[in-house]
Homo-oligomer: A and B are copies of this chain.
Amino acid sequence: MTKKPFPLDKVYTLIEPGPILMVTTRFGNRPNIMTMSWHTMIDFLPPLVGLVIGDQSHTFRALKATGECVINIPTAPLIKKAVRCGNVSGRSVDKFKAFRLTPVKAAEVKAPMIGECCASLECRTVDQGMAERYNLFILEVVKAWADSRIKNPRMIHHRGKDLFAISGKTLRIASGMK
């Protein structure tokens, strides 16, 4: 794996642009992957992330039961595998094997990281109070990893059904934003 530890106070720079994410869990000793794109930063430090996870999914049950996951960020070369991971349920398929993705042991949680993703954020749920009503989990990122060689990752953004946009040129504009 080419990822190195990444500072927690910079985690928002990975989530805030709104890329599709590959969320990994381990439940009953089975690793699983879900591709999703309903998420938001909630706070900078400790970094809190909100994930909206369909309540019929294997990942919803795994997250509710274990309180742990890894948020992995795929870039353009992974787009086909990421989409295919979103098309089948982890109940019947080991997606790491089916799509030839590399599970890498995480440091703080039992869910595996995906070796091929440019960044991986190890998370624990801190608030499941909105899981029933809104399918919304609040997670704290407890350890982060990123490939420091990739300065401007070509993230994947979902525009509904079969349409995806790849992040294009970057601009620097003086901003008072964090």
Chain A contact residues, CB within 8 Å of chain B: 10, 12-13, 16-19, 35, 37-43, 48, 50, 52, 79-80, 83, 86-88, 130, 134-136, 138, 152, 154-155, 157-178
List 15 additional A-B contacts (Cβ < 8 Å) besides A18-B19, A157-B167. A13-B159, A13-B160, A16-B158, A38-B42, A39-B40, A40-B40, A50-B52, A87-B175, A87-B176, A134-B138, A160-B177, A164-B171, A164-B173, A166-B169, A167-B167
Copies of chain A in the complex:
2
A165 to B16, CA, bound (A): 11
Known contacts: A38-B40, A40-B40. The answer to whether A165 contacts B170 by CB under 8 A is yes
Q: Specify which chain B residues have a CB less than 8 angstroms from the CB of A37 in the assembled complex.
A: 16-18
Q: Specify which chain B residues have a CB less than 8 angstroms from the CB of A13 in the assembled complex.
A: 159-160, 163
A113 to B138, CA, bound (A): 31
A17 to B135, CA, bound (A): 19
Contact B19 A40 (CB under 8 A): no
Q: Specify which chain B residues have a CB less than 8 angstroms from the CB of A158 in the assembled complex.
A: 16-17, 177
A166 to B42, CA, bound (A): 23
A118 to B158, CA, bound (A): 18
A40 to B167, CA, bound (A): 18
Contact B136 A42 (CB under 8 A): yes
Tell me the minimal C-beta distance from A157 to chain B in angstroms: 4
